[in-house]
Chains A and B, each alone.
Chain A
Amino acid sequence: MRYPRWSAPLLIGVLVAAGAPAGLAAQGNLSQVVDDWEGRYEVARDNYQAAYQEWEYYESRWEQLMEEFGRAQTEEDERRTTDILAQLQELSRERDRAEGTLRIRKEEWHDASEGLISALEARIELQVQQMERSPVGSNPDVLAVYNLYSDRLQEVESETDTELGPRRELELPPMPDMQVQPDDTRSEIGFKIRSLRNRIAVLEDLSSELDGKIAQLENRQRWERTRDDFNAGLRGFDDVVVPVTPRSGTTTAVGDTTAVDLELAPLETRIARLTGLRDSVLERIEQLEEKVEDFQREAERRP
């Protein structure tokens, strides 16, 4: 049985609300939630590592072919050069696909690690509650369980920090430093053109992804604004002020969602950032397309 992500905090909430009389039962359920997330974490990590190995294979093969290509050019072995170019062209598609898969698997591992960390934190919190209720030293098993989950939490945090690093924002890939050399043949220029087109395809995918994210955030912003309009409309002329009691202490410390998640920037900031990035991506696509046209003109002049 798989437990949804929210089941751990829900159990905690129920436990606290009930004054924790059923602590042991909840501990069992929460341990199962942790186990379930452990399973997902293991699967996501294995998938990432498999994707990494595949990408690593194509990457090392690419570097190997590039070296061979350089040697063939030095030795002026035209047949070998053409042969390697064909292999590079074939490999280029597989390498891009493996890179895309690796990115997706990385996100999935990030998601699973956050779920597991959340479940472990909830389980540790419950254990702390139990320790606080028990006299010091009365039950060494309680401390052992606490240490077990704490150690696992540290292990997961360390593993994901080391292997994944922080979640990366979408970013503009660097402009490829690719020029037509005076001694490039038509087929070599053709290879460079195909390489540039691959970059354009990657950027077009990124642009589509950004469009989707921007649309989602803009919908969210419109929704939030409509809700604010409704609330402001009721408050504006005191329609909901009635002569019952004076205002009481229901004010929250801070009222917007940005404050709830300290690391999450406001919607409009994120929309502006993504829109700026999308514009840069579109500009980069235009630059690459111009470069492709230049290369094509140059290739036509070569033997």
Chain B
Amino acid sequence: MRTRRLLPLIAVCVCVATPAEGTGQIRLRDFVITEGASLEGYLGNFSAITVPQIDSTERAVAGVGEFRVRGILGLMARETQSVDVAFDGGIRQFATGGFQLRNYAPREHSGSLETTYQRRIRRVGSLTANAGARLRSISDRPPMPLYLAPGYDRYTAGMSYLHRGIFDLGVEGEVADYAAPKVLPALDLLDRSSVVVTAGVRKIYRSPAELDRDDYWGLRAFSSYSYHSYPQQGQGSPRIDHAVGAGATFEGRWERLSLEFTLEGTRSRSTSRRVEYNAARLNGQADWILGQSTQVGLRGTLARKRFIQPGQDALVPGEEADNASMLYAELTRHLGDRVSGAFRFGWQKVETNISGAYYTRFGGSFFLRVRPWN
């Protein structure tokens, strides 16, 4: 089973490696090994269609260990074009406590590979094409309130063009197969094919001083159209969603501070009126450099969704919640050129409007990151 799922991933590797082989310029641009340990708590009474296991507890805890390897391989780097392959793979093991039925021991495997070809057309624009695969699996998936995303195989391909650093246009296609086992057919409801078209306009302002050329700030306004097809949902005819979105991003990078905020609204209409909704999302991230070797990062998300059908009271697979709030903070200390340690605190709350059901996940982690060939 795993071998069959890995075949497309290997095919992507071979495809991207072939043209680069002759260039003789293959270079490991980044390589980082991460080991981590976490202690997490989970609260709530949330229900998800794709989590059929039921446990009456509303409180659980888990100790978590993880190992990841991530990097970027530069297959070609010429003055005007480049080919990079980003890879990321890891394993995470949970040891849970507090469930009534039994204590679960979920294990996650995840891996992704993304190839990006970029061609800079001097003084005119930049063309980017990318293809990627992401595989995720989870065994012994636990009941709520410990929500862990289900396993899937996802393949993406896209192309975008940035004109004069101002106008951008992109299209990306995605196929997601949740590869439901026989005992969990509900997962097939999440299978999805999507096409997202994005257009944006941006203005970036840079410091004119040569040494500060990496400092910049800018605004980007964008709009999007998304087509989502769910072949396993809908009776008789498959569910097809058409969503339009619009939003704006502020991004700034200075010597010791980096900020990024994105506000986006989405209007999603569907062949099934029951699942039509309007949604808004605010994402923010900030990073500060404190002193010579210390860095603090913050990531936050607020997501709100309202179904337009009055009295909507049935759960939608994969979209059971209406509101989500997330906050992550990470303090990183560099312990030399190749090693860093990081403490992370995370909190998230996901809830529904109809019943007030929710789940909360919070915890602290420590990560040791090593770049052996820095």
User: A: which residues have CB within 8 A of B?
Assistant: 5-6, 9, 12-13, 107, 110-112, 114-115, 118, 167, 213, 216-217, 219-220, 222-223, 225-227, 229-234, 236-254, 257, 259-264, 267-269
Give me 13 A-to-B residue pairs in the complex whose CB atoms sit less than 8 angstroms apart, sorted by A's number.
A112-B208, A219-B289, A222-B334, A226-B287, A226-B297, A229-B340, A243-B320, A245-B268, A248-B243, A253-B161, A253-B198, A259-B118, A262-B120
State A230–B198 Cα separation when bound (angstroms): 26
State A114–B212 Cα separation when bound (angstroms): 13
Q: With A242-B350, A249-B226 given, can you name 16 additional A-B contacts, CB distance below 8 Å?
A: A6-B205, A213-B211, A227-B287, A231-B285, A233-B68, A233-B367, A241-B149, A244-B322, A245-B279, A247-B174, A248-B243, A248-B279, A250-B198, A253-B126, A259-B126, A259-B128
Q: Does B45 contact A (CB under 8 A)?
A: no
B70 CB contact (under 8 Å) in A213, A219, A223, A232: A232
Q: Are A245 and B90 in contact (CB under 8 A)?
A: no
* Pairs A-B, 10 closest by C-beta atoms: A249-B224, A253-B168, A114-B208, A253-B160, A238-B149, A111-B208, A253-B162, A249-B196, A230-B297, A249-B198
Identify the closest chain A residue to B265 (Cβ): A248
Q: Are B264 and A248 in contact (CB under 8 A)?
A: yes
Identify the closest chain A residue to B215 (Cβ): A220
Answer whether A261 and B220 are a contact pair too, CB < 8 Å, given A232-B88, A238-B110, A244-B322.
Answer: no
Answer whether A252 and B168 are a contact pair too, CB < 8 Å, given A110-B208, A229-B342, A230-B297.
Answer: yes
- Could you tell me the distance in whole angstroms from the C-beta of A257 to the nearest C-beta in chain B? 7
Q: Are A261 and B210 in contact (CB under 8 A)?
A: no
A267 CB contact (under 8 Å) in B196, B214, B299, B330: B214
A244 CB contact (under 8 Å) in B149, B174, B287, B321: B321
Q: Are A239 and B346 in contact (CB under 8 A)?
A: yes
Q: Most chain-A CB neighbours within 10 Å: which of B36, B162, B371?
A: B162
B: interface residue count bin: 35 or more
Answer whether A244 and B225 are a contact pair too, CB < 8 Å, given A230-B297, A250-B247, A253-B170.
Answer: no
Answer whether A257 and B194 are a contact pair too, CB < 8 Å, given A237-B92, A244-B350.
Answer: no
Comparing B16-24, B27-35, B97-105, the segment that makes contact with chain A is B27-35
Identify the closest chain A residue to B213 (Cβ): A264
- Could you tell me the distance in whole angstroms from the C-beta of B176 to the nearest C-beta in chain A? 9
Answer whether A226 and B295 are a contact pair too, CB < 8 Å, given A110-B208, A114-B208, A242-B350.
Answer: yes
Chain B residues in 8 Å Cβ range of A234: 299, 328
Q: Are A242 and B214 in contact (CB under 8 A)?
A: no
Chain A residues in 8 Å Cβ range of B200: 252-253
- Could you tell me the distance in whole angstroms from the C-beta of B171 to the nearest C-beta in chain A? 10
Instruction: Mark B340-374 against chain A: 1 for CB-CB distance below 8 A, else 0.
Output: 10101010101000000000000000010101000
Q: Are B324 and A242 in contact (CB under 8 A)?
A: yes
Q: Are B128 and A254 in contact (CB under 8 A)?
A: yes
Q: Does B141 contact A (CB under 8 A)?
A: no
Q: Are B32 and A229 in contact (CB under 8 A)?
A: yes
State A247–B134 Cα separation when bound (angstroms): 15
Answer whether A242 and B348 are a contact pair too, CB < 8 Å, given A6-B205, A249-B224, A252-B200.
Answer: yes
State A217–B213 Cα separation when bound (angstroms): 11
- Could you tell me the distance in whole angstroms from the C-beta of B238 to the nearest C-beta in chain A? 15
Chain A residues in 8 Å Cβ range of B209: 111
Q: Does B136 contact A (CB under 8 A)?
A: yes
State A9–B220 Cα separation when bound (angstroms): 13
Identify the closest chain A residue to B162 (Cβ): A253
Q: Does B269 contact A (CB under 8 A)?
A: no
State A9–B334 Cα separation when bound (angstroms): 36
Q: Does B242 contact A (CB under 8 A)?
A: no
State A81–B198 Cα separation when bound (angstroms): 75
Chain A residues in 8 Å Cβ range of B219: 13
Chain B residues in 8 Å Cβ range of A244: 279, 303, 305, 319, 321-324, 350
Chain B residues in 8 Å Cβ range of A223: 258, 287, 289, 295
A249 CB contact (under 8 Å) in B29, B123, B225, B321: B225
State A247–B192 Cα separation when bound (angstroms): 11
Q: Does B207 contact A (CB under 8 A)?
A: yes
State A234–B168 Cα separation when bound (angstroms): 27
Q: Are B160 and A243 in contact (CB under 8 A)?
A: no
Chain A residues in 8 Å Cβ range of B123: 262-263
Within 8 A of A (CB), among B201-232: 203-211, 213-214, 216-220, 222-226, 228
Q: Does B73 contact A (CB under 8 A)?
A: no
Q: Most chain-B CB neighbours within 10 Å: which of A114, A240, A267?
A: A240
- Could you tell me the distance in whole angstroms from the C-beta of B19 to the nearest C-beta in chain A? 20
A229 CB contact (under 8 Å) in B247, B264, B299, B369: B369
B196 CB contact (under 8 Å) in A12, A237, A248: A248
Q: Does B43 contact A (CB under 8 A)?
A: no
Chain B residues in 8 Å Cβ range of A118: 205, 208
Q: Are A259 and B299 in contact (CB under 8 A)?
A: no
Q: Does B197 contact A (CB under 8 A)?
A: yes
Chain B residues in 8 Å Cβ range of A253: 126, 128, 160-162, 168-170, 198, 200
Instruction: Mark B234-265 against chain A: 1 for CB-CB distance below 8 A, else 0.
Output: 00000001010101010001000010001010
Answer whether A167 and B210 are a contact pair too, CB < 8 Å, given A223-B295, A236-B68, A237-B66.
Answer: yes
Answer whether A246 and B318 are a contact pair too, CB < 8 Å, given A236-B68, A238-B110, A251-B198.
Answer: yes
Chain A residues in 8 Å Cβ range of B194: 246-247
State A261–B367 Cα separation when bound (angstroms): 33
Within 8 A of A (CB), among B97-130: 108, 110, 118, 120, 122-123, 125-126, 128
Chain A residues in 8 Å Cβ range of B299: 230-231, 234, 240
